[in-house]
Amino acid sequence: MLSGSLIFLVLSMMAAIFGFGGIAEASAEIAKFLFFIFISLFVISLVTGFMEKSKGSLNKKH
């Protein structure tokens, strides 16, 4: 899906260069939406990864 957002980004850049305002705007909005989705998923995976690590270290008492 990350490649899809990059495709929409490139498409919006090309459309902006050629002056197709509606297409450029729609593609840029889709690319922004996908970007924020991926950022939020990344943050969620970081938080859950840190929680798993800390949970695992608490269970391993020597």
Contact 31, 8 (CB under 8 A): yes
- Domains in the chain: boundaries: 2-59
pTM for the full predicted model = 0.53
Question: How many whole angstroms separate alpha carbon 31 and alpha carbon 5?
Answer: 5
Contact 36, 52 (CB under 8 A): no
pLDDT of amino acid 39: 87
Query: pLDDT tens, 4-28?
Result: 777 777 877 777 777 766 777 787 8
- Please count the other Cβ atoms lying within 10 Å of the Cβ belonging to residue 36: 11
